[in-house]
Structure 1
Amino acid sequence: MGKITGRQIWKTLHADLIGKDSQRGITLTYGWFANQLGHFALGFVPTSIAYILGVELKTALFSVACFWLAFEIYNASSPLYKKEYKGNGTFKPQWKNLTFDTFTDLCFFWTGSLTFYFIASTDKNGLYFFLAGLLPLFFFGRYWFLTKLYQQNAFFPYAFRLSQWNGRLKTEDADFIRHYLRQRPREAHHFIVSGAKKSGKTTITVGMANELAIRHNKTTYTTLSKWVSVLSDSQEELSRGNKSLWTWQESEFLLIDDINPGTPEEANKYKATDIESFINNSGYGDTIKQILGNTSVAWVVGSCSNDDGIRDWKEMLIRIGIPKEKITTIDLNSFQSGK
């Protein structure tokens, strides 16, 4: 699978920077830029105010820098004490990711403070070192801009990290999810996720997909009805009408949600054989099967009826060419503690 191109990055930058927010809304990439500009200002403005009030310039710089250092340490350690991030311990916070995010924010705080310091001082020698030190900000910005780009083009229904998971999950399922996310290179795998309403089917799969997006993998969230509606479209047709930088056919991880929302009595809209029929009758059956064979897919099947159980879904996937060993079932109706 190809990565995001420079042309696509430039197109997104142009869309983020040109146009009024009240007309086009806010994207994740724009939000990241605005956030870091705010960090820069929160370093620059307090340092300048302290200096204007008579605080010695270096003291003002040091005080503001230390304040934001203490604040970010407190902020980054929040998964230890904030319930909304802590989850139930099934999945641990990604401390490497958190540390890098914290350091990036600190660099923008400190850059703001240092910018005022060199504006107000005559320290020309230090200015050269400061300008050279700005170079890492480009690489930090490039990484985080791309990360937000991968996340926003997945079109997740909400933001969720696996470390926030507070539902119940079989130990072997949690272990396999961790194993799958750690794979290098990652092999295509299919997940059949079942469970009753509000059991966390969408949440756990969105968490998996988001972890992959943060690792710069092309992921796509869609519902079954939307996916079925484009099965008969060619790649060219998909590209013309797609709002994302990639189509579902170009994704490395495809999340198909709302196959059977609710219980069988409430809504059992599609069976495994229906999906197979949609693929075979699309006009691109062989191509779709080949794509699915090379793509990781999470099938959020919901509550299966007696005449359409998990076994039927496994058999359907095998019939369209998915190896049996590349299919994993996650049943949220039957679990043990995930700790």
Structure 2
Amino acid sequence: MKKTITFKNMARQLKADLGGKDSYRGVTLTYTWLANQFGHFSLGFIPAFIAFLIMKPHMAPARASLNAACLISGTWLVFETINFLWPLTLGRKGGVKSYVFQPAWGNVAFDTITDLLFFWLGAFFCSLLCYDTPLARGVVMVTATLILYPAYYWYLTKMYLQAPGYPFQFRLSQWSTEHIAPEDIKLIKRFLDSNTMGMHLFLFGPKNSGKTSLSVAIATELSIRHYSAIYTSAMKLYCMFFEQDDDNTADVLWTWRKASILVIDDINPGDPVKEDLITSERFLGFVDALSTRDINRTALKDTNVIWVLGNDDKDRKLSANWQDMLYSIGVERDKMLSLNLQRHVPAARGARSKGEYDLQMQS
């Protein structure tokens, strides 16, 4: 059975984020999200307090406190609206039509609304402290109530994003190539939107063709949808084939066998390395470890897997060989998808503008 994150897992993660020193243990995505939202609250509170001090000598304290909160809240509304629309549309070369994969607009809009709620809560909480008015009290109560679900959703989402161990933060709308066939885009969307388990996507291509970026981007979108995922290199996975499942610690929410999405990177390097270091037959030999053969085969068969391999061509028939290997362990042919990136050269692989950063993991 595939694993999900429970309230107990969230409570344990929250306890870890709120206690201890990050100077020696590092920071997590959940900790970063908490710090980010505290920053949004502070950027509502502090400017509102400064504005109140400026307005107070010129008007009644009650009016000054409300005007300051409204001024700062309105300023952040305008700023966030521009910050949401400009980098992703008018400020991007080619505009909306330049995306190979459209951004998850609803997801980004929800993130923007969440930020605004924290801005407004900070501004009107400041107003309430400066001068207690029914309006400020009401706005604080309503805003604090509205924040509850977004806070739960985003904290949970950050847990789904940090558990896989992705090597970098990258969303699908950031991945671009100069040319990609419409059928290839449909193939990726088919893998993304499939409601059945046991789908397998093979990504072939040479060095710098964007295989890893694309695999991470696809898996990231599924993590944001709250699918349990694991990212690993082939070398690490070979050792994991021999391990028994142990996901009872705070650091291990699920093992590769209990994940819904598995990304296997660096199975073979591709050009300029011509030789395939691992063949499909050799890979199956690792799968069939003496004590874990059956559970390894079942896990691979029933998990959605992204395979990142080297070059493929008509003579080598790598795609056919790997599909035959999966078929031998019970994977149906119509659940195997193959995409060759050899003819696709990313236009800006790994390049991220500020707007694209906003699009990726702050949401």
What TM-score comes out, normalization by structure 2 length?
A: 0.86
User: Is 1:146 matched with 2:156?
Assistant: yes
The equivalent residue for 2:51 is 50
User: Structure 2 residue aligned with 1:59, among 46, 67, 79?
Assistant: 67
> Following TM superposition, by how much is the alpha carbon of 1:266 offset from its aligned partner in structure 2, in angstroms?
5.3
**Is 1:271–1:308's contact at 8 Å kept on the other side of the alignment?**
no
- 1:251 matched to 2:259: yes
Q: Which amino acid aligns with 2:284?
A: E
Q: Structure 1: how far apart are the matches of 2:292 and 2:180?
A: 37
Aligned partner (choices 174, 178, 187) of residue 189 of structure 2: 178
What SS is found at the alignment partner of 1:261?
A: coil
- Secondary structure of the residue that 1:329 maps to in structure 2? strand
1:278 aligns with 2:289: no
Return the offset for 1:192: 1.0
Q: 1:18 to 1:122 in 2, by over 3 A?
A: closer
Q: Distance in 2 between matches of 1:266 and 1:23?
A: 42
Q: Determine if the alignment matches structure 1 residue 310 to structure 2 residue 319.
A: yes
Please report how far the alpha carbon of residue 240 of structure 1 lies from its aligned counterpart in structure 2 after TM superposition.
Answer: 6.4
What is the total number of aligned residue pairs between the two structures? 335
1:64 is displaced (CA, Å) by: 0.6
* Contact 2:262–2:306, Cα closer than 8 Å, also in 1: yes
- Partner SS for 2:118: helix
> Residue 99 of structure 2 is aligned with which of 72, 85, 89?
89
Amino acid in the other structure paired with 2:306: A
- Report the 3-state secondary structure (helix = DSSP H, G, I; strand = E; otherwise coil) of the residue aligned with 1:79: coil
The Cα shift of 1:283 comes to 2.4
Distance 1:133 1:102 in 2: 15
Instruction: State whether structure 2 residue 271 is matched by structure 1 residue 263.
Output: yes
Which residue pairs with 2:140 in the alignment? Answer: 130
Cα distance 1:186–1:336, how it changes in 2: closer, same or farther (>3 A)?
farther
Q: Which amino acid aligns with 1:319?
A: S
- CA shift, 1:286, in A, is 1.6
- Which amino acid in 2 is paired with 1:256? I
Partner of 1:295: 303
Q: Secondary structure at the match of 1:234?
A: coil
Which residue in 2 is equivalent to 1:321? 330
1:22 aligns with 23
SS of the residue 1:220 aligns to: strand
Alpha carbons of structure 1 residues 210 and 219: separation in structure 2 relative to 1, 3 Å? same
Moved more, 205-214 or 70-79: 70-79
Of 159-168 and 321-330, deviating more is: 159-168
**Are residues 1:225 and 2:235 paired?**
yes
TM-score when scaled to structure 1?
0.92
Change beyond 3 A, Cα 1:321–1:241: farther
What is the CA–CA distance in structure 2 between the aligned matches of 1:219 and 1:57, rounded to whole Å? 48
Task: Return the offset for 1:310.
Answer: 1.6
- In structure 2, relative to structure 1, the CA distance for the partners of 1:148 and 1:124 (3 Å cut) is same
Residues 194, 84 of structure 1: alpha-carbon distance in 2 compared, 3 angstrom cutoff: farther
Question: Does residue 105 in structure 1 map to residue 115 in structure 2?
Answer: yes
2:309 alignment partner, SS class: strand
Look up the equivalent residue of 1:173 and give its one-letter code: D
Give 2:141's aligned amino acid: L
* Residue identity opposite 2:335 in structure 1: K
Paired residue secondary structure (2:88): helix
User: Whole-Å Cα distance in 1 between the matches of residues 184 and 210 of structure 2?
Assistant: 14
Q: Which runs of 5+ in 1 are unaligned?
A: none
Structure 2 unaligned segments of length 5 or more: list them: 57-63, 347-363
The CA distance in 2 between the partners of 1:92 and 1:124, in whole Å, is 44
Determine helix, strand or coil for the equivalent of 1:302.
coil
Distance 2:94 2:234 in 1: 30
Report the more deviating stretch, 123-132 or 52-61: 123-132
Please give the secondary structure, in 2, of the residue aligned with 1:246. Answer: coil
Identity among equivalent positions (%) equals: 34
Measure the CA separation in 2 of the matches of 1:204 and 1:115.
43
Code of the aligned partner of 1:71: F
Q: After superposition, what is the alpha-carbon deviation per residue over 1:164-185, rounded to whole angstroms, capped at 9, x for unaligned?
A: 11124332121122233234x3
Letter in 1 for 2:88: P
Between 172-181 and 294-303, report the one with greater CA deviation. Answer: 172-181
Question: CA 1:126 to 1:70, structure 2 compared with 1: closer, same or farther past 3 Å?
Answer: closer
User: Which deviates further from its counterpart, 32-41 or 272-281?
Assistant: 272-281
Q: Cα deviation per residue 1:304-326 (whole Å; 9 max; x = unaligned)?
A: 48556221111111112111110
Name the amino acid aligned to 1:206. Answer: V
8 Å contact from structure 1 (residues 264, 303) kept in 2: no
Cα distance in 2, alignment partners of residues 188 and 84 from structure 1: 37
Q: Contact between 2:9 and 2:250, CA under 8 Å: does it hold in 1?
A: no
